[in-house]
Amino acid sequence: MAKIRGNKVKFDPNNLVLAAGATSANETLIFCLADPGEAILLPTPYYPGFDRDLKWRTGVEIVPVHCWSSNGFRITMFALEEAYERAQKLNLKVKGVLITNPSNPLGTTMTKEELDHLITFAMAKNIHVISDEVFSGTVFDSPGFISILEAAMDRNLENTDVWSRIHIVYSLSKDLGLPGFRVGMIYSNNKTVVGASTKMSSFGLVSSQTQYLLTNVLASKRFTSKYMKENQKRLKKRKEMLVSGLKKSGIECLKSNAGLFCWVDMRHLLSSNTLEAETKLWNQMVCDVGLSISPGSSFHCSEPGWFRVCFANMSRGTLQVAMRRIKDFVERLNFMGIKMNYQQNTSSLSRKLLSNWVRKLSSSDPDEHER
């Protein structure tokens, strides 16, 4: 964890709690920080699994912090305040805000300004901040990754109350490609949270065999460093292939620098600016094109027409096939659109001519027609 963060943050092993993956870690933290009927703020678009991980067993409510494409879906103080006020109107007590940095599904790292907004907001409202940083080792392009703890240290907050209200979730699933091993962790400077999380970890332990195996793997700093650098290099190449291929089809992506996916803008391919049109396009992509992509509505995106497209699980050849299929599909859509526009224009012209003829008849002298 320290190496990924450029050794700018020193981690105390005594503040670390292991869990069976980030899913278990996030749920455990919510159990520790909030009671049933209380709320956690969550910036949109967000990972759909949070609806399960944070709510199902804890009884905690999620209040979305609506972010928009106009500023690249960045978190603003206005959006945070608006969500907080919305929660209050619903009589929900806000206990914290959870972020993913880098973002899933955006594939972007949070800026220093965003992190400062979050810290300032948490201090003003006396609430917690949970930073899910499971993709922190996948950053393959600038700007680099800044951890929430690093941002807090830059403001010399180590000896303040907010320092104990900042918590990190991490796992080996994404950075080392080990999702099946179920190794996650909670890092907190709050002794009460660490104590409660340690007790609750009994319900989601990392097996002794897994710990022994991965201890040997991670002991080789040379291997892990080489592996992660190679992984980042390959992710960048694959992402560039996807962005370039989609651009040839007239499809743009949100500029990204991390993660295993791109946030793709297909708003111009919608038949209307509605969730129904997004669902229709998604069905066409899955059934007609044969590509499994995720609609923005499943991530609670406020704007129809955005899709998450994963690129890390495809070979170069498979990605090329996918790009050809999308190009053919877009060309068919454009052709159908031109055809429909032609038919609509022709129909409109016919109606206009008929209307003019009727109007001319109605305005002329009836006696003249009788003669």
CATH number of the domain at 281, please. 3.90.1150.10
Asked if 98 contacts 130 with a C-beta cutoff of 8 angstroms, the reply is yes
Q: Strand pairing of 39-43 and 94-100?
A: parallel
Do 92 and 212 belong together in one domain? yes
pLDDT of residue 57: 94
**7 is a domain residue:** no
Task: Name the burial class of residue 116, with classes exposed (0-12), middle (13-18) and buried (19+) by CB atoms within 10 angstroms of its CB.
Answer: middle
Tell me which residue has tokens 């899913």. Answer: 23
Closest-CA residue to 235 (of 136, 322, 313) = 313
Do 324 and 187 belong together in one domain? no
pLDDT of residue 134: 94
**254 is a domain residue:** yes
Do 185 and 256 belong together in one domain? no
The least confident of 194-203, 212-221, 310-319 is 212-221
Say yes or no to pLDDT of 354 above 90: no
Closest-CA residue to 22 (of 129, 139, 167, 141) = 167
| 200 vs 161: CA distance, rounded Å | 24
Say yes or no to pLDDT of 327 above 50: yes
> Among 189, 218, 247, where does a domain finish?
218
> Among 218, 239, 273, where does a domain finish?
218
Do 68 and 137 belong together in one domain? yes
| DSSP letter for each residue of 153-210 | HHTT-TTSGGGGGEEEEEESTTTSS-GGG--EEEEES-HHHHHHHHHHGGGSPPPHHH
Do 51 and 192 belong together in one domain? yes
SS3 for 76-120 is CHHHHHHHHHHHHHCCCCEEEEEEECCCCCCCCCCCHHHHHHHHH
Do 191 and 284 belong together in one domain? no
**351 is a domain residue:** no
Query: Distance from first CA to last CA of the chain, Å, rounded?
Result: 97
**1 is a domain residue:** no
Closest-CA residue to 83 (of 116, 56, 61) = 61
Q: Express each pLDDT in 23-36 by its tens digit.
A: 999 999 999 999 99
CA dihedral 79, 85, 90, 91 (to 10 degrees): 130
Q: Which residues pair with 61 in a beta bridge?
A: 39
pLDDT of residue 359: 55
**114 is a domain residue:** yes
- Per the structure, the count of domains in the chain is 2
Do 46 and 86 belong together in one domain? yes
Do 250 and 113 belong together in one domain? no
Say yes or no to pLDDT of 370 above 60: no
Do 31 and 133 belong together in one domain? yes
**342 is a domain residue:** no
Q: What is the mean pLDDT of residues 266-293?
A: 94
Task: Name the burial class of residue 118, with classes exposed (0-12), middle (13-18) and buried (19+) by CB atoms within 10 angstroms of its CB.
Answer: buried
- The DSSP secondary-structure symbol of 302 reads S
Do 22 and 94 belong together in one domain? yes
Q: What is the mean pLDDT of residues 4-9?
A: 66
Helical segments of 90-220, H only: 112-125, 148-154, 191-200, 208-218
Q: Express each pLDDT in 230-277 by its tens digit.
A: 999 999 999 999 999 999 999 999 999 999 999 999 999 999 999 999
Helical segments of the chain, H only: 21-33, 50-53, 77-89, 112-125, 148-154, 191-200, 208-218, 221-248, 275-284, 316-363, 366-370
Do 152 and 30 belong together in one domain? yes
- The DSSP secondary-structure symbol of 10 reads -
| 247 vs 142: CA distance, rounded Å | 21
pLDDT of residue 153: 93
Q: Report the share of the chain in percent with pLDDT over 90.
A: 72
| 175 vs 133: CA distance, rounded Å | 10
Asked if 308 contacts 261 with a C-beta cutoff of 8 angstroms, the reply is yes
Tell me which residue has tokens 């080792």. Answer: 137
The mean of the pLDDT values for the chain is: 89
Residue 365 φ then ψ, to 5°? -75, 120
Structural domain boundaries enclosing 279: 230-329
**22 is a domain residue:** yes
**118 is a domain residue:** yes
Tell me which residue has tokens 């877009």. Answer: 330
pLDDT of residue 190: 96
Determine the 3-state secondary structure of 199 from DSSP. helix
Say yes or no to pLDDT of 203 above 60: yes
For residue 5, give the amino acid letter.
Answer: R
Say yes or no to pLDDT of 225 above 90: no
> Among 329, 347, 364, where does a domain finish?
329
Do 291 and 146 belong together in one domain? no
| 16 vs 189: CA distance, rounded Å | 9
Domain CATH code at residue 212: 3.40.640.10
